[in-house]
Chains A and B, each alone.
Chain A
Amino acid sequence: MSILSKLKETIVCLKAGRVTLPYPAQPQPVPPKFRGRPIFDVAKCTGCGGCANNCPAREILVLDVCQEIRILKYLGRRCAYCGRCAELCPEKAITMSHEFENATNSIGDIGQKLELFMSTCQRCGRCFKEPSPLEQLKMKGYRFDDLQNERWIFRSQSYLENEPVADDIKIEMV
C-alpha cells in the first residue's frame, strides 16, 4: 500500500514538471502595476515639499540651506513603497519604478539627495509660490530637518528652542 502511494506521489510530481524559476541567472519580470523604488526627477521638481509632508514613514527630509537652495533627501530605508508621494506630486516628478533588487551592505546606498534651486521674490528676497492647491499641503516657512541624524522635524520651533523661529520677513514700509 505504501509503495503504491509513493508511486502515485511520483506520478503527481512528474505531471507537475519543473516549477523552479531560474531566478538569479535570468531576470524575473514583475507585474505591470508593481511599485518599486521611487525615482525622483530633479528637472521637474519644484521643491514644494508635499511629498515630505505627506510621507507616512516621514523619510523625505527637507533642509533649507539658504534662500535659493533647498535640499530634499530621500532616505529609502523605511520606505513602504506606498506610492503616496508619486500620487500627490503636482509635477509628477516622482515615479514608482520596477526596481526591487535593492539589497545592499550599506543602507546609505538607497538614498537620493536632490539639491533644488528656489527662485526668490525680488522685493523681499524670500522664496515664493503661487496660491494653488498646494496650500493644502501645509508647507509654511522654513524647515530644519536633521540630515546628520536622519531625523524628521516637522515644526522648526521644536528644533530651535532658544533661537528665534524663522518667520516671515516683515517688509518695512517707510
Chain B
Amino acid sequence: MLKNLCKKMFGRSLWVYHANSGGCNGCDIEVLNVLTPYYDAERFGIKLVGSPRHADVMLCQGPAMRSTAKALKRAYEAMPAPKLVFAIGSCACGGGLWFDSYSVIGPVEKIIPVNYYIPGCPPRPEAIIYGVAVALGLVEKKTAPVQLKQLEYPIPQYHPSDLHVRDEMVVYEKLEKI
C-alpha cells in the first residue's frame, strides 16, 4: 500500500540534470531561480542532481559547440532509459544569435533528440515552470503555428496586346482583374 502511495505521489517526480554546453550563463541563473523558494519547483518533485546517471530530465542550455558536442552526447547516453530533454533558451532551441559562426554547430537537437523547447533569451522562471508543467500534463500548451494572408486587392492589369487604336485614341480593350 505504501509502495502504491509512493508510486502515486512520486511517479512524476523529475530529477533534473543541468547541462550547459557553451551558453552565456543567463539560462543557468534562471534555472537556479526556479529552485529557489520563490518559484518552489520541489512542489512538483523536481530536484537538481549532479550526475546524468541519476537524472530523468536533461536541461540543455547553450548551443551545441564544436568543443562540447561530444561531451553533451556522452552525458545524454549516460542517462537511464526513460529520459526527457528540455532545450532552454533561444541558444539551445535554435542556435542563438551566433548560430552561423565557426565554433557553434547549431541547436542541441542536432546532437541529441529534444522533447520540449522553452524559447526565450533567457526564458522567465515562470516560462521554465510552464514548460515543465506542459511536460507533466498539468497545463495545455498555448502556442500554435500562425499563418496569415493579406487580402489581394483587385488591381487592373494592362497588357500591350490589348491596346488598340480607335479614333486617334489608344483604348484598352479589356481590363483583367488579378
Contacts and interface: CB of A to CB of B under 8 A. Distances in A.
A58 B144 CA distance: 22
A115 B150 contact: yes
Interface in A36-65: 40, 42-43, 45, 56-59
B94 A59 contact: yes
Interface in B95-146: 95-97, 99-100, 107, 109, 115-121, 123-124, 126-127, 129-131, 133-134, 138-139, 141-146
Contact of B148 (A79, A82, A106, A112): A112
Interface string B144-178: 11111111110101100000000000000000001
Interface stretch (B1-9, B35-43, B66-74): B35-43
Nearest to A41: B148
Interface in A100-141: 100-117, 119-120, 122
Contact of B141 (A42, A105, A112): A105
B91 interface: yes
Given A78-B93, A80-B97, A109-B144, A24 B138 contact: yes
A113 B121 contact: no
A119 B157 CA distance: 11
Nearest to A30: B124
B133 A115 contact: no
B90 A79 contact: yes
Nearest to A103: B131
B117 A107 contact: yes
B38 A20 contact: yes
Given A99-B142, A115-B150, A105 B126 contact: no
A78 B148 contact: no
Contacts, number: 143
Interface string A138-167: 000000000000000000000000000000
Nearest to B131: A103
Interface string A77-107: 1111110000000000000000111111111
A103 to B, nearest CB: 3
Given A57-B96, A101-B130, A111 B146 contact: yes
Interface of A: 19-21, 23-24, 28, 30, 40, 42-43, 45, 56-59, 68, 75-82, 99-117, 119-120, 122
